[in-house]
Amino acid sequence: MNRRQYIKRQVAGTAILAASGLVHKASAQNLPSPDPDNHDILDVDVLVVGGGSAGHVAAIQAGRMGAKTVLLERNSQLGGTTTTGGVNFPGLFHAWGKQYISGIGWELVAKSVEIDGKELPDFSKVPKSHPQHQVRINAQLYALLAEEACLDAGVSLAYYQFPKKIEETSNGWLVDVVGQGVQYQLRCRQIVDCTGGASVVGMLGLERSWSDVRQPGTQMVVFTGFDQAVVQENKKLIQKMYDEAIANGKLQKGDTWKGNAMRPIQGASGSNHIFGADSSTAATQTQTNLAGRKHVLRMLKFLKTIPGGENATIDRMMNETASRETFRIIGETTLTVNDYTSGRIFDDALSYSFYPIDLHDAHGVKPKPLAHGKVPTIPRGALIPKGSKNIMVAGRCLSSDRLANSAARVQASCMGMGQAAAVTAALAAKSGVTPIEVPLEKIREELKKHGAIIPQGAKA
């Protein structure tokens, strides 16, 4: 290719990027309010980092309030663990026969179920085990609806991009954003860190907690192609073959939960444990994916040797191994397992959360259901890094002890936190105060306007 052809191709490429809003120049359409003096600086009210279970809801909320909002997502789509991780069964919006989490997350979940022609569970009946009321959604459809809602709310979506450096300014932050072929500065009033592992909080040197022993992750994968009649006749033999494969190192502990060989054969989507899973950095996510994929190949090779498994193959597999536990912030308030199991209504509660204590370990998981009638709450203080100004978090990195986190990390709770944090951040940006200075009654009033459910009995 000669130089003229090269330049022509670059120009055409830039035009396509500009049309899709993903070009780095502030003059591109879909990026808000360029600084007239510096075309490489974007000026926004709210920057949401991470578009997972919490982040897409946060961005939509801020956008719907009229805040100029940019959402940086290092991956290719919205939804995070819900979509890219393949955990497409968000829970729990309902408790004890009643809805406790509503708002934007619920709106998208219900819409995706409706468009998909599926039915919601009957929430009026209290199930034997809480997670039976999780809603199974079509992950791909959900990602599309989340993206549509972001664009409708005027949110600027920036995929494959992430903050490289962040400096504090007198009234917010100056953020260096990078991505392949993309580099620009963004000035914002408020940041909502929805990266799952509080990576922005980490960049700012604010305190986070980390457990050396963490919950394992899971590579979501569904195997198919079994002759189920033959499998059923040989269940005992298959289990024996599995145990032998573990003993001789062809399979590894964690390749199925509790060593139950039948789970992957019966179509379970996430019955493996990937120990040491960690999505905190590109390097640890790479190692996590490698471990998840080795598991799949190991398992497939084994399944092809069992009676009825000759034609076994992969039906579907997510392209990212999902992590349950990484960094959590040290917040103004830390949610403890006692707060959670007692259903404590915090004075500054902004949303509910509901799930069993659900700590996965080397042996599997034994969820501990909450006592009848208990519905815990999420305080604003658990979303604000201790001693910080102009930054909040939402999602599984909320300030919490390990056991409380094993329950509060679930998706409906993350969505509720995303909405609450975004309302707070947008109001703070508008009135030029920090998130902790925004009056609680204003936040709650705005949340109600946007369909969220406010914890009963929380003080002003």
Query: Would you tell me which residues interact with ligand FAD (CB under 6 A)?
Result: 49-55, 72-75, 80-82, 85, 87, 89-91, 131, 134, 162, 194-196, 199, 217-218, 270, 322-324, 395-396, 409-411, 414
Residue (155 or 414) nearer to ligand FAD, CB:
414
Please report how close the Cβ of residue 439 comes to ligand FAD at its closest, in angstroms. 27
| Helix 235-247, helix 282-303: angle, nearest 10 | 130
Alpha carbon distance 265, 307 (integer Å): 11
Please report how close the Cβ of residue 2 comes to ligand FAD at its closest, in angstroms. 38
Determine the number of helices (DSSP H) and then strands (DSSP E) in the chain.
13, 16
Please report how close the Cβ of residue 36 comes to ligand FAD at its closest, in angstroms. 28
Please report how close the Cβ of residue 78 comes to ligand FAD at its closest, in angstroms. 7
Please report how close the Cβ of residue 384 comes to ligand FAD at its closest, in angstroms. 16
Residue (238 or 277) nearer to ligand FAD, CB:
277
Give SS3 for 424: helix
Residue (73 or 401) nearer to ligand FAD, CB:
73
Sign of the four-CA dihedral 55, 60, 61, 65: positive
Please report how close the Cβ of residue 147 comes to ligand FAD at its closest, in angstroms. 13
Residue (161 or 231) nearer to ligand FAD, CB:
161
Please report how close the Cβ of residue 156 comes to ligand FAD at its closest, in angstroms. 14
Please report how close the Cβ of residue 30 comes to ligand FAD at its closest, in angstroms. 18
Please report how close the Cβ of residue 70 comes to ligand FAD at its closest, in angstroms. 11
Residue number with the smallest Cβ distance to ligand FAD? 52
Q: What share of the chain is helix, strand, coil (3-state, %, to 5)?
A: 35, 20, 45
The set of residues, in sequence order, having a beta carbon less than 8 Å from that of 445 and lying 6+ positions away, is none
Residue (170 or 180) nearer to ligand FAD, CB:
180
Residue (196 or 455) nearer to ligand FAD, CB:
196
- Joined tokens for residue 432: 């030029």
Strands (E), 65-179: 69-73, 94-95, 98-99, 156-159, 161-169, 172-179
DSSP calls for 302-342: HHTTSTT-TT-EEEEE-SS-B-S---EE-BSS-B-HHHHHT
Residue (243 or 315) nearer to ligand FAD, CB:
315
Bridge partners for 35 per DSSP: 38
DSSP H helical ranges for 179-234: 199-203, 228-233
Asked if 330 and 383 count as a contact pair (C-beta separation under 8 A), the reply is: no
Alpha carbon distance 402, 392 (integer Å): 20
Asked if 57 and 418 count as a contact pair (C-beta separation under 8 A), the reply is: yes
The set of residues, in sequence order, having a beta carbon less than 8 Å from that of 179 and lying 6+ positions away, is 24, 158, 159, 160, 161, 162
What are φ and ψ of residue 102, in 5° steps?
-135, -145
Asked if 245 and 252 count as a contact pair (C-beta separation under 8 A), the reply is: no
Please report how close the Cβ of residue 84 comes to ligand FAD at its closest, in angstroms. 6
Residue (50 or 379) nearer to ligand FAD, CB:
50
Residue (89 or 275) nearer to ligand FAD, CB:
89
Q: What is the per-residue burial (b if ≥16 Cβ within 10 Å, else e) of 21-56?
A: ebbbebebebbbebeeeeeebbbbbbbbbbbbbbbb
Alpha carbon distance 121, 48 (integer Å): 32
Please report how close the Cβ of residue 150 comes to ligand FAD at its closest, in angstroms. 13
Residue (83 or 341) nearer to ligand FAD, CB:
83
Please report how close the Cβ of residue 136 comes to ligand FAD at its closest, in angstroms. 10
Residue (52 or 455) nearer to ligand FAD, CB:
52
Task: Tell me which H or E stretch contains 213.
Answer: none
Residue (228 or 281) nearer to ligand FAD, CB:
281
- Joined tokens for residue 10: 């670059």
